[in-house]
Structure 1
């Protein structure tokens, strides 16, 4: 009996390592050219130029050129990069709160949209457009409900923005990737091994059953509970391997995966990303509640739209039959 358990655990280890390495290598091949291209655009000043063009439009959501620059940086890179940009600017507490919520919804769009496309979405472009739209819409609402004198203590270290040579940009990019990719490999492989162990020994229900009622409130299937936990603790990039495996193996239906992706677009990596901004002095209520509300609104709107369109689709299918 004990020998059989060891054999099953070893099988989980081997399969998890193989699947994790495959997904990690796919992510590396995708992320290297994308992140390098973004670094070059930043060095050329393209992102700064675009932010100046967009400033008049973004004034309707309470942001000036500095806020737009921070948001654009996050959409192309990460929240860490956005916080780094904030440290060189003079954003007030109200603007930082709005930008924080926007970047929590829409960041690293190129990489994460490709991940979501492979993990059940019909269109990566559509998911990116959804995140951008919801980020701007949420900011528009916040700009109207936050008092004009909304303030607080912002724990953000300011520093002067220096001009970097192309060599310095290239060196920073290379060092960042060199630190990131081994961490990604360890996280993705570990998560794949854990997923297989939980399924092999029928332990996953002990995690997902308590979440069933929460999933119903969110408009998601109970089968999404484990992936919801993964995406909200580790994020889309680290959780990609598990989600792709669940979708491609058929353990989660494509429709459920699409709804989960729509929800996760607003709320993924809730633990790490939210704490990043919380350590800067921003309130948890504004960092969490607007995103959860928007995620629920998107999912329930999609469900209602599907319910409305399904009879029409069925009628068309019947009419096409000879």
Structure 2
């Protein structure tokens, strides 16, 4: 007993702390520069300027142009900031429940892109591909919801604002303090997640989860190795699931195409608990922000993974993925050298 405790203190705890710090520090290095850049753009008044390019697109999803500013704010910052602006503009927009649900569904798929796209990129997905999946995916989902609700005559009654948050304009010191609080919370969540994942592996619950989800994962093209991390991202958020996937990708534990499939699902369907509850406070209907979003994400990932598997490895390397672990880089170099040395391919 004493030997096992000694082993626990000398080996398990140090390795656990090292893993927690590795995941947390990776996220911090990604998030801090992007958060500062977005804050500078916000202070310079760049967000309303950028929204002018998105406002015409609102007609594609049946929304007034003013909601383009709400989506732009959410794209560049987070859902909280978008919600605050929404509650200021919504009374004059006279939105229906269907329109609020369409907007909410789009916000859930595409928000906080400067930070979250960088996280996805660090896991081995090309930057442009990561951005387009979120942006175009949100537009397509908004259009599908708009067409569905309009064709069936659902949720056409006027929306009622169930919550009116207090508008705050924090100064620079308050803003910095809020960011520090967020990073402390992220550290606590990551610590809890990694401890939970290790415990689940220790009692072999993770194997049971993989076995139960095997049919769905096979349909989506996601390998069993990425199961638990994908579940974390779907339930709690892309930052947490993505941070864990970055670590696994750099260690070479998960194949790059499997990483892409997992990130594709997380891009369309993540943080199903917290973010969904937030959007429901806007007056959206649960059908569009939860059930239809889940169905849309599963169908989209299943179709896209099958179509992309028909593409050549050169297409994947050029447009979708890139190596992040030493083994992957050496593999790519060997493949490149083989192609150049092959007279038939030359």
Q: TM-score band, normalised by the shorter chain?
A: 0.7 to 0.9
Kept in 2: contact 1:219–1:296 (CA 8 A): no
- Cα 1:11–1:151 shift into 2, 3 Å: farther
1:145 is matched with 148
Kept in 1: contact 2:70–2:86 (CA 8 A): yes
Alignment of 1:47-126 (within 5 A): 47-90=47-90, 91=93, 92=95, 93-121=97-125, 123-126=126-129
- 1:256: how far off? 1.0
2:217 to 212, 215, 218: 215
* Secondary structure of 1:88's aligned partner: helix
* Secondary structure of 1:154's aligned partner: coil
Instruction: Tell me, in whole angstroms, the C-alpha distance in 1 between the residues paired with 2:203 and 2:249.
Output: 20
Instruction: Tell me, in whole angstroms, the C-alpha distance in 1 between the residues paired with 2:198 and 2:344.
Output: 43
Root-mean-square deviation over aligned CA pairs: 2.9
- Cα 1:221–1:29 shift into 2, 3 Å: closer
Gapped runs of 5+ residues in structure 1?
none
2:138 is matched with 135
Show CA shifts across 1:156-211 (max 9, x none).
3166x68x5xxx44234212202101111111123223333433554421333222
- Cα 1:32–1:189 shift into 2, 3 Å: same
Instruction: Tell me, in whole angstroms, the C-alpha distance in 2 between the residues paired with 1:281 and 1:54.
Output: 23
Please list every run of at least 4 consecutive aligned residues from structure 1 whose deviation after the TM superposition is greater than 6 angstroms.
311-314, 316-319
Question: So what's the TM-score if we normalise by structure 1?
Answer: 0.85
- Cα 1:25–1:311 shift into 2, 3 Å: closer
Question: So what's the TM-score if we normalise by structure 2?
Answer: 0.80
* Secondary structure of 1:65's aligned partner: coil
- How many positions carry a matched residue from both structures? 315
- Cα 1:140–1:7 shift into 2, 3 Å: same
- 1:312: how far off? 9.7
Kept in 2: contact 1:20–1:192 (CA 8 A): yes
Gapped runs of 5+ residues in structure 2?
316-334
1:262 is matched with 264
* Secondary structure of 1:309's aligned partner: coil
Instruction: Tell me, in whole angstroms, the C-alpha distance in 1 between the residues paired with 2:304 and 2:57.
Output: 28
Kept in 2: contact 1:247–1:257 (CA 8 A): yes
Kept in 1: contact 2:221–2:258 (CA 8 A): no
